[in-house]
Amino acid sequence: MLGGIEAGGTKFVLAVGPSPDRITARHTIPTRDPATTLAEAADWLAGQGGLTALGIGSFGPVELDRTSPRWGFITATPKPGWADCDVAGYLGQALGVPVGFDTDVNAAALAEYAASGNVAGSLAYLTIGTGIGGGLVLDGKPVHGIAHPELGHIYPRRHPQDMDFAGICPSHGDCLEGLASGPAIIARWGMSLSELAADHPGHAIIADYIAQACHMLFASVAVEEVVIGGGVANTPGLVERVAARTRELDAGYLPGGTRHRVIRPRLGGDAGIIGALMLAEAAAKA
């Protein structure tokens, strides 16, 4: 039996199943302080019985270097209490099973890659919600680099109708997350994107910023697909707008451009937890 945790800043989604595509039980708990939350997660998972491995897709930043003594830690997060938290170590010890660990968005990218039937030889997963993050699978493997990608913190070119807003990222101001995350939208217009009138310029402005990230992914690492999830991505028409704007930005230049796709998750909201179970499956085999 595989166990999975999608560890988010506001909730932990827990699940078990004999394989990643067969979830037999799931449970959601609010993210409180680490001691309470991790104990509650371990209790529920232990209560399911017969666990052989655990996979965790976590909010970050996280340490993914297997040779580091801090592997499996959430590292420098501003979230109170969670900095330098040994998430994988605690849960591995509490449950007595091998642990697979990656970012929440790399886990989601892995699951979407599998769900595509490997149609996409390479794929990026962007989540647009309270924050913005992105995971990458290239040639079937999640990309870590020297840490892990932080795609929410690239600087897009400012939209001409959006020159006055300073952005809300505490580190960068007008990075992608500072401009296009849910809180950035509310900071500008006092409501969510889906609440804005259909003819409000905000729709085109936000789509433009996300499209710049998609174009960057197609142009830099030549992924075939960008999958866009997260709460803001549920805004009707947004992903279609992003896809159209991405094609405009490319202007027919990129080789392979006809194969590029910007799409909603095939797995809906389950990409993260299914990806966590895939990490468990890999840990069981390691």
- CB-CB neighbours of 52 under 10 Å: 15
Q: Which of 169, 180, 205, 271 binds Zn ion (CB under 5 A)?
A: 169
CB of 167 to Zn ion, least distance (A): 8
Q: What is the Cα–Cα distance from 30 to 32, expressed in whole angstroms?
A: 6
In this structure, the chain runs to a length of 286
CA neighbours closer than 13 Å in the CB half-sphere of residue 210 = 36
- Give the range of 42-50, 93-101, 152-160, 207-215 binding Zn ion by CB under 5 A: 152-160
Q: Which is nearer to Zn ion, 171 or 220 (CB)?
A: 171
Q: Which amino acid belongs to residue 246?
A: T
Q: What is the Cα–Cα distance from 137 to 123, expressed in whole angstroms?
A: 5
CB of 57 to Zn ion, least distance (A): 21
- Give the range of 73-81, 146-154, 201-209, 246-254 binding Zn ion by CB under 5 A: 146-154
Q: What is the Cα–Cα distance from 156 to 101, expressed in whole angstroms?
A: 30
Q: Which of 153, 158, 247, 266 binds Zn ion (CB under 5 A)?
A: 153
Q: Which of 175, 184, 213, 239 binds Zn ion (CB under 5 A)?
A: 175
Please, which of residues 113-142 interact with Zn ion by CB under 5 A?
Answer: none
Q: How far is CA 15 from CA 36, 229, 269, in A?
A: 18, 20, 14
Kindly state the tokens that stand for 137: 């699978």
CB of 176 to Zn ion, least distance (A): 7
Q: Which of 26, 172, 261, 266 binds Zn ion (CB under 5 A)?
A: 172
Residue 26 touches Zn ion, criterion: CB under 5 A = no
Q: 3-state secondary structure string, 33-95?
A: CHHHHHHHHHHHHHHHCCCCEEEEEECCCECCCCCCCCCCEECCCCCCCCCCEEHHHHHHHHH
Q: Which is nearer to Zn ion, 34 or 178 (CB)?
A: 178
- Give the range of 18-26, 90-98, 162-170, 236-244 binding Zn ion by CB under 5 A: 162-170
Which residue ranges make up the site for Zn ion (CB under 5 A)?
153, 169, 171-172, 175, 177
